[in-house]
Structure 1
Amino acid sequence: MPKTLIAIPVYNAEEFIARTLLSCLNQTLKSEILVVDNCSTDTSREIVEKFQEQYNNINLVVNDRNLGRVGNWNRCLDLFDESPYEYIKFVFTGDELLPECVEKVENVFNSNSNLSVVAWPYLYKDTKGRTSVARILNYSCRLSREDLIKTWFFPSNFAGAIICHTYSKKAIQQSRFNDLVLGAATFCDEVIIRGDSYHLNEVLSIYNLDGHSSHNKMFSYLYVLERSFTKAVCLEKNKEWIGRATYQKIRTDILLEAFLNSLKHSDVSTFLRLPFKIFTILAVFIKRAVGDLAWIIKKNWVVIKESIDN
């Protein structure tokens, strides 16, 4: 029996739902597909019902009222919590899973105990059909929460598009998506530190831009500030185990990121754009260099002081 529940939150997706369903039905490991319709006013529900006539592994749930975008994601989590499945794979309407996605990810979970999440690269396809691969690493590896800190993936940098993550029920516990923010970073940050993370270096899914109406908001002024804010909140919640020195270094990074993003998204005239990009690169480089130097001096201060005294 498969251990993965595929969850598809739906609202007015008549143009894209068939594409997503077909990719989920085409898995080499047949899994239950949970479709949660958030009171669509188009033909999304009817399209899913037609698929149900042909396939017995599609479960359609229609909400009594519209729960909102994030509320519907959390409805999926609530239903997953009540199910016998161990892992949940979210697929937003328009996106696709490649045929071996569920099987290969389950193999990773089966071969590695105490994993909270498995992540992988995905194919990004824009509205003109142009593609590129989005990835955070070029190799497969297991990462503890300490490894995530060392590699700058925590907080929030391991949380990419949700199409490239599968989460375990043991790690999710009672965590839910925050409806006060646009992205899923707060949820991912909570879940990934309840176990180890695994990066599987195989492209297993497709992010189709034409199905994401909120995509452009990710580059808005408020969103980039929100990203820095959620990182800062997560850092504060976890500073006890992160350690003082690492905490201070990450906090400096977050503050600098917020400052630079504020400048980048303000009304800077066009002719200043290139100098600003150069300044951004130099500022990050200098800040890292100064931070590393300060760290070395601090760790070796006793030896340095003795050398000066002598």
Structure 2
Amino acid sequence: MIKMSLGAAFSETFGFLKANWMQMLLWLGGAVVLACILGWLLLRNAMGTMMMASGDPSAAFGALGSFFLFAILAGTIVFAASLLIWRTGLVGGEPASDIGWGLGAGAAYMLAMIVVYFATIIAMYVVMLIIGLLAFAIFGASGMSLESLATGGASAGLILFGILFYIAIIVFFLWFFGRLSVAGPIMAVNRSANPFSAFAESWRMTGASQWTIVGFNLLMAILFFVFFFVISMLLGSVTAAMMTPDAGAGAMIGGLIVALLIYVPSVLISVSMPAGVYRSISTKAGSDVFA
């Protein structure tokens, strides 16, 4: 295991973005277009069906099934595009020849992430139950009642306890999914379709840099927030014009441009981050950059 520095993570992330941004636009753009077509085919009648199915549960479940199927297919396509980008950027080669593998691996990766996510949520609720019982034993029923919280009667200790617990949940999710963050690049490099072995390898590789990865993800989240804020301040008038009842085609086009300016860089950087972390912890040269 190689210990990663924040400088290496930033350098490798934006280096990957610089070298592969055209491929990323091509494959992710194609994935979004294909997902939109699937959405139109699968969901064009689902919303109307749900609105008219108040007395017909079977119709409502059928519409929900359409939404679920769309989510599965769209997720598979997007994950497949990401795997193809990671493989091309980290190993090289022609991504078109790996489309079949990418779709299969993308479906496996997405379903595995769903399993891991729900398992984590269930475990979190179990922990919350235990912590809640502990808080009940410490602060008592009266101190945890809704009336005491609404009237400000809750003790300072209970409020501090709640704040610390909330922060702990956020840190846990950042840490846990940070440990799994290079599973996708690992699958891409090895041309594997087994996400669980990639999770295990990611857990091993990120061990020496786990808190650096948490810090890197936090810093990137802050940068994303600042970026969104600046763009919204600079182009807020366009968004406001789009929201007016008499908004014309120009305002709609302007709103689309604003959305592209915000979301395209965000998606490209988000896909580059796992590759950057992978490079930083898997090669000695990557870990020495700005160390």
TM-score over 0.5 for the alignment? no
Alignment TM class, shorter chain as reference: under 0.3
TM-score of the superposed pair, with normalisation by structure 1? 0.22
Normalising by structure 2, report the TM-score: 0.23
Structure with more relative contact order (C-alpha pairs < 8 Å, separation 6 or more): 2
The structure in which a higher percent of residues are helix is: 2
